[in-house]
């Protein structure tokens, strides 16, 4: 049985961090559990959101078979209430978290290296459901990415995940990630990639839930595929992902007490001063 549904959630509300664009030194307004400024925990409000999200995830049909997550602390923390509730019912793959860097945070191109997430042993000690032996399909570039490079990274990661799920009979999966990747996932899965990245199409509110169902007719429309490929997408990634999915839920927050909060959208390529000049339409080096 091929993969049928992909559920996507953004992590809960979290504290902010800052970066000095001249030096590349990051700092956080709170002490982070991993000691990495860009890896903050959820705020108290974010924790409450994650509990409400868990209740919603438990009602999904078809139910979640496998959970993938960005290895960021806030994403793993967002999933914890759901994992704990699910574990009371069974010990299936849905009670483990596969840490996939291919759906990790996006940073704009810079003349310095962006921080990485914490080591597997550190995260596994904090989150027992974390699968320390899982090997990520892709990783973000250390000096950041252009928007086309982000699209390519997410598309190739999805391609590998979908192929793996098709092979083992997985019916539904959950991806927990970040705002930029939530939007990118929607564009890549549906093949609807706008000319202007700042177009408001797929929403990315904290703990918002999206759902993508596989189309009966694979591959989307010819126009969708041609437009996606023109946006510097790698053909190999496009072959088994772009246009194959329709959006049934777009950042739904109806189950959250305070509704939709802290929305985000692309605002340029977020390149730092001094970074190598790359246009948003330049093809990534594969």
Gap between the Cα atoms of 26 and 24, Å rounded: 6
Would you say residue 237 lies in a domain? yes
CA-only gyration radius of the chain, Å: 18
Query: Residue 66 sits in which domain range?
Result: 5-252
Cα–Cα distance, 199 to 267 (Å, whole number): 9
Residue 188: inside a domain, yes or no? yes
pLDDT of residue 217: 62
- Predicted confidence at residue 153, as pLDDT, reads 96
Give the per-residue pLDDT at 118: 96
Tokens read off for 49: 């959101």
* pLDDT of the residue at 239: 47
Classify the phi-psi angles of 274: left when phi > 0, otherwise alpha if psi is within -120 to 50, otherwise beta.
Answer: left
261-275 pLDDT per residue, tens: 999 999 988 888 876
Residue 276 maps to a domain = no
Judged on CB neighbours under 10 Å (0-12, 13-18, 19+), 120 is middle
| Domain contains 26 | yes
35, 183, 205, 19: CA torsion to nearest 10: 30
Q: Among residues of the chain, what percentage have pLDDT more than 70?
A: 86
Distances (CA, A) of 122 to 29, 98, 104, 172, 196: 22, 15, 17, 29, 39
- Report the pLDDT value the prediction gives residue 21, as an integer from 0 to 100: 86
Q: Could you tell me the CATH number of the domain that includes residue 76?
A: 3.40.50.1240
Closest by Cα among 202, 210, 212 to 264: 202
Spell out the alpha helix ranges (H) of 131-249: 147-168, 179-190, 222-230, 235-239
Please state the domain count of the chain: 1
| pLDDT at residue 236, rounded to an integer | 47
| Integer Cα distance of 154 and 99 in angstroms | 14
Residues 83 and 94: their CA atoms lie apart, in Å, by 7
Has residue 223 been placed in a domain? Answer: yes
Determine the Cα–Cα distance for residues 276 and 157; give it in Å rounded to an integer: 25
For residue 190 the two structure tokens come to 């549906």
Asked whether residue 267 is domain-assigned, the answer is no
Give the model confidence (pLDDT) of 129-184 as tens digits.
999 999 999 999 999 999 999 999 999 999 999 999 999 999 999 999 999 999 99
Residues of the chain whose pLDDT is less than 50?
Answer: 222-223, 225, 232, 234-240, 277-286
Tell me, yes or no, whether 265 lies in a domain.
no
Which helix (H) or strand (E) segment holds residue 252: the answer is strand 245-252
Rounded alpha-carbon distances, angstroms, from residue 185 to 38, 170, 247, 253: 22, 19, 11, 18
Let me know: does 155 contact 104? Beta carbons within 8 Å: no
Tell me the CA distances in angstroms from 160 to 49, 150, 156, 275, one per residue in order: 30, 16, 6, 30
pLDDT of 281: 33
Backbone torsions φ then ψ of 282, nearest 5 degrees: -75, 135
Q: Which residues pair with 271 in a beta bridge?
A: none
Is residue 282 situated within a structural domain?
A: no
């Amino acid at each position: 049985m091929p993969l049928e549904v992909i559920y996507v959630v953004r992590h809960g509300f979290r504290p902010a961090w800052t970066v000095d664009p001249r030096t590349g030194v990051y700092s956080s307004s709170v002490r982070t559990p991993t000691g990495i400024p860009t890896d903050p925990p959820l705020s108290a409000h974010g924790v409450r959101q994650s509990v409400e999200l868990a209740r919603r995830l438990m009602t999904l049909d078809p139910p979640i078979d496998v959970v993938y997550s960005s290895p960021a602390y806030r994403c793993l923390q967002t999933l914890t209430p759901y994992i704990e509730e699910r574990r009371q019912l069974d010990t299936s793959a849905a009670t483990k978290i596969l840490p996939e860097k291919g759906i990790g945070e996006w940073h704009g191109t810079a003349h310095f290296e962006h921080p990485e997430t914490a080591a597997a042993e550190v995260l596994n000690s904090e989150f027992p459901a974390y699968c320390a032996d899982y090997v990520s399909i892709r990783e973000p570039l250390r000096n950041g990415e252009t928007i086309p490079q982000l699209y390519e990274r997410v598309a190739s990661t999805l391609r590998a995940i979908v192929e793996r799920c098709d092979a083992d009979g997985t019916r539904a999966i959950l991806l927990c990630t970040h705002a930029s990747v939530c939007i990118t996932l929607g564009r890549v899965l549906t093949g609807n990639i706008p000319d202007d990245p700042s177009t408001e199409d797929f929403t990315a509110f904290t703990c918002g839930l999206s759902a993508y169902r596989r189309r009966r007719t694979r591959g989307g429309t010819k126009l969708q595929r041609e437009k996606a490929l023109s946006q510097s997408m790698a053909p190999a990634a496009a072959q088994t992902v772009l246009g194959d999915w329709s959006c049934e839920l777009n950042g739904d927050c109806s189950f959250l007490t305070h509704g939709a909060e802290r929305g985000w959208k692309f605002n340029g390529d977020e390149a730092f001063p001094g970074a190598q000049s790359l246009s948003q339409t330049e093809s990534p080096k594969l």
